Amino acid sequence: MSDAFTTRMIDVATGSSETVHDLTPACESFLREAARDRDGLLHVFVPHATAGVALIETGAGSDDDLLAALHALLPADDRWQHRHGSPGHGRDHVLPAIVPPYATVPVIGGRMQLGTWQSVCLVDTNRDNPDRQVRLSFLG
């Protein structure tokens, strides 16, 4: 693999409750090694059918607001055709259509060019899968 493209899979323990997990520190750590002060793109991908990646403010209630909005849009009840797992689990399979399983962030001088309050977050409403993987890729 050339220096122009570097990729790594990281493990994220999300536990047994719905969560918005901040991936920003892991992305920054990856870029220190992979980008080495170069310009390019960071691509964050979740290879799961029931999780997504969002750029959102964390720690000020926005993460809880996102989960509340997802509850309103995708209630955990028996309306879903996909019925294995916890009650309402079918909604978890619809989540990636609303919160996509990827995000791409510009990198300048080895640093993500996020807005002041933006963080890269894993959004996981699936209480049945407490362990996730996230692929971080740098192209530069």
For residue 87, pLDDT over 70 is answered with: yes
For residue 2, pLDDT over 70 is answered with: no
**pLDDT 10s digits, 108-137:** 999 999 999 999 999 999 989 999 999 999
User: What is the predicted pLDDT for the residue at 51?
Assistant: 97
Region 59-68: mean pLDDT is 95
**pLDDT 10s digits, 10-26:** 999 999 999 999 999 99
How far is it, in rounded angstroms, from Cα 104 to Cα 57? 16
**pLDDT 10s digits, 19-51:** 999 999 999 999 999 999 999 999 999 999 999
For residue 1, pLDDT over 70 is answered with: no
Q: Any idea which residue has 């993460």 for tokens?
A: 63
Q: What is the DSSP string of 25-41?
A: HHHHHHHHHHTTT--EE
Name the pTM for this structure.
0.95
**Residue ranges per structural domain of the chain:** 5-139
Domain covering 5-139, topology: Jelly Rolls (2.60.120)
Closest Cα to residue 53, out of 30, 29, 86, 24?
24
Average pLDDT, the chain: 95
3-state secondary structure of 64: helix
